[in-house]
Amino acid sequence: MAIEDTEDADHLIDLQLGGADALENLWALDRSVNRSLGAQIAAQIKSMGLNSGDIITGFRIG
């Protein structure tokens, strides 16, 4: 996978949401978008009081 200087390797299904840490679950995404989405997901998980290992069946960003 070729990644530009302005991109991150991003997990299609975020690790925080149970996605695999595998090449098949990666794609190139704009760095600022990737980091913003990751922070939003983490904040939502924290605000819901979820614990490590809790199963998330759906989510909405925005």
Q: Is the pLDDT of residue 61 over 80?
A: no
Q: Which helix (H) or strand (E) holds 25?
A: none
Is there a contact between 14 and 56 (Cβ–Cβ < 8 Å)? no
Average pLDDT score over residue span 31-48: 89
pLDDT, tens only, 2-16: 899 999 999 998 888
Q: Is the pLDDT of residue 20 over 70?
A: yes
State the sign of the Cα–Cα–Cα–Cα dihedral 25, 13, 15, 56. Answer: negative
- pLDDT of the residue at 62: 59
Dihedral (C-alpha) 35, 25, 2, 31: value to the nearest 10 degrees? -10
